[in-house]
Amino acid sequence: MTDAADTISTIIPCLRYRDAHAAIEWLCRAFGFEKQAVYADGDIVHHAQLVFGNGMVMLGSADNASEWGRQVAQPDEIGMRETQSPCVIVADTDAHYARAKAAGATIVMDIADQDYGGRGYSCRDIEGHLWWFGSYDPWKGHD
């Protein structure tokens, strides 16, 4: 028996941005996400869904007023450290790396073949969130 829902992806990273509208545009341009839904009032994004293949990230505007907002710190508030980061499987790591770098992503770990398989790199987005992109697919069998 499993508690998992019968859906495409049961785990969806959620991020907060001070300028969520700018982040949405940048994530689409730099990383190849596509807007699925954006619910906003003026400058405030209450909820957005960006898809990449059959994966998704959800995001919204950062705030310290809501119950949820008080639980979340932005990277620049905690010395650019993270307690989690999205990992995204890409078809062509080198092309994705070039696209992200051209869009201004800050490369944290340069692109390289990984000991466990695949090729990947790590970068920060326009508000400092840490991301990993690579070709290693944990859903496929590896020797």
pLDDT in tens, 24-47: 999 999 999 999 999 999 999 999
Query: Would residue 118 count as lying in a domain?
Result: yes
pTM exceeds 0.85, yes or no: yes
Mean pLDDT of the 38-63 span? 95
Query: Would residue 9 count as lying in a domain?
Result: no
Query: Would residue 35 count as lying in a domain?
Result: yes
Query: Would residue 1 count as lying in a domain?
Result: no
Q: Which of 135, 134, 131, 139 minimizes the C-alpha distance to 57?
A: 131
Q: What is the CATH number of the domain that holds 123?
A: 3.10.180.10
Whole-angstrom distance, CA of residue 91 vs CA of residue 138: 14
Range of the domain at 113: 14-134
pLDDT in tens, 82-140: 888 999 999 999 999 999 999 999 999 999 999 998 999 999 999 999 999 999 998 88
Query: Would residue 72 count as lying in a domain?
Result: yes
Contact 9, 87 (CB under 8 A): no
Structural domain count, the chain = 1
